[in-house]
């Protein structure tokens, strides 16, 4: 949607004379691929960081910690 909106907005700006006719809009797919890649890496990193401690703790210890109410939120 962003690429289509950019073309529409740029055309509107050219029609109103805010952008000279000699200027052309060039949109590449690299920013889109970079955003998807960074988002994917961030999501994977967050999942890994959130799952480190629960994956190492023993089931009995996890149940004991879950039954105790904490006074303040964890880090």
Given this model, what pLDDT does residue 2 score?
A: 82
Structural domain count, the chain: 1
Task: Give CA–CA dist 31/39, Å, rounded.
Answer: 12
Asked whether residue 26 is assigned to any structural domain, the reply reads yes
Highest mean pLDDT among 2-11, 16-25, 42-51: 42-51
What is the band of 5 on the pLDDT scale with cuts at 50, 70, 90? very high
Asked whether residue 72 is assigned to any structural domain, the reply reads no
Domain range for residue 44?
2-67
- Other beta carbons within 10 angstroms of residue 57's beta carbon come to 13
Asked whether residue 30 is assigned to any structural domain, the reply reads yes
Judged against a pLDDT cut of 90, whether residue 10 lies above it is answered with yes
Asked whether residue 74 is assigned to any structural domain, the reply reads no
Task: Give CA–CA dist 61/54, Å, rounded.
Answer: 10
Given this model, what pLDDT does residue 15 score?
A: 93
Asked whether residue 73 is assigned to any structural domain, the reply reads no
What is the band of 14 on the pLDDT scale with cuts at 50, 70, 90? very high
Asked whether residue 75 is assigned to any structural domain, the reply reads no
Asked whether residue 53 is assigned to any structural domain, the reply reads yes
């Amino acid at each position: 949607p962003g690429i289509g909106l950019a073309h529409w907005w740029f055309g509107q700006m050219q029609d109103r004379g805010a952008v000279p006719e000699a200027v052309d809009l060039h949109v590449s797919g690299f920013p889109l691929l970079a955003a998807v890649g960074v988002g994917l890496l961030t999501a994977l990193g967050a999942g890994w960081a959130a799952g480190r401690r629960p994956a190492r703790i023993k089931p009995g210890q996890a149940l004991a910690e879950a039954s105790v109410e904490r006074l303040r939120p964890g880090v």
